Amino acid sequence: MNVDSNGDEPGLEVPTGRTGVRQLIVADADGQRIDNFLVRELRGIPRSRIYRMLRTGEVRVNGGRVKPTHRLCDGDRVRVPPLQGVRDLDTAPGSAQAAFIGAELLARLERAILHEDEGLIALDKPAGLPVHGGSGVSFGAIEALRRLRPDDDLQLVHRLDRDTSGCLLVAKSRTLLLELHRALREREVKKRYDALVFGQWPRRTVSVQLPLQKFVLGSGERRVRVAEGGKPSRTDFAIRTSGARGCWLEARLHTGRTHQIRVHAQASGHPVVGDEKYAHPDQQQLAHSLGIRRLCLHAAELVIVHHGARLRLAAPVPEDFERAWRALT
């Protein structure tokens, strides 16, 4: 269900406000347990409250009561009851999170808005900022944007890896949220990324079509690998320019799997520079020796149909990305 990818699979459709009954549509479930699903999606809600909602039947899947061990399938509809009076870390006045979202970050994000209208915000998300809080992180881009736009019911349209910078879409209206989810599912959203990779990318490798499968390490960390039984995935790569230690590539997604660009690049023998998950340890060490402290992956462009017209959203390449490229040349 979760989409923290270089790709941008739609995750949850959230048709109602955060304090009313919500119907969450599950995508990319991978057999996840309902209790774990709710813990992740209802960040800030105590586990005891989540298990009580399951026990009393306040949470229902496809209209029926389920146990905490119930495993979800793609397309399942999860009913979540109203949560008034339960601490919600991204909205509760005086919450611990509020102290961590400083004025400097809010001002930076305000400047990073690429486009805004009555239904949509397009943000140039900085590298290192998660799209949402959770898993030990107090807040992310969506919580900060809700501070900036407290009168709007903002919802993430898709997700980016924490360390990936660039175009991130946030919907202000239910209608647009569902329409963009549909467009993502139908592959109508055009996505282009800039990536720096180690070594000399072979010019013959234009399209990588390798199935991808999620798995979990013994530590509990989620990873992705190429596997025969994985989901069909396609990334088209083009060389923008070459340097002594690496190449600057443009990557266009035809599917939006988790970590798709990163795993397709690694499987082709040229991992993304600064990738602490998939690059070889020697390559990670080289990046550090060159002073590269970020994942060199940037969501440069999104093209969507909005208000009946083609809307192109472009995020300029960040300065630290440019510095990394100069170090590789």
Separation of first and last alpha carbons in the chain: 39
Of 8, 28, 161, 275, the catalytic one is 161
- Residue 282 a catalytic site member: no
Residues 156 and 132: beta-carbon distance below 8 Å: yes
Q: How far apart are CA 277 and CA 245, in angstroms?
A: 20
DSSP state letter for 134: B
Q: How far apart are CA 222 and CA 212, in angstroms?
A: 13
Strands 297-306 and 309-314: antiparallel
- The greatest distance separating any two alpha carbons of the chain, rounded to the nearest whole angstrom, comes to 62
Q: What six digits make up the tokens of 11?
A: 């995750």
Residues 89 and 139: beta-carbon distance below 8 Å: yes
Residues 256 and 191: beta-carbon distance below 8 Å: yes
Active site members: 161
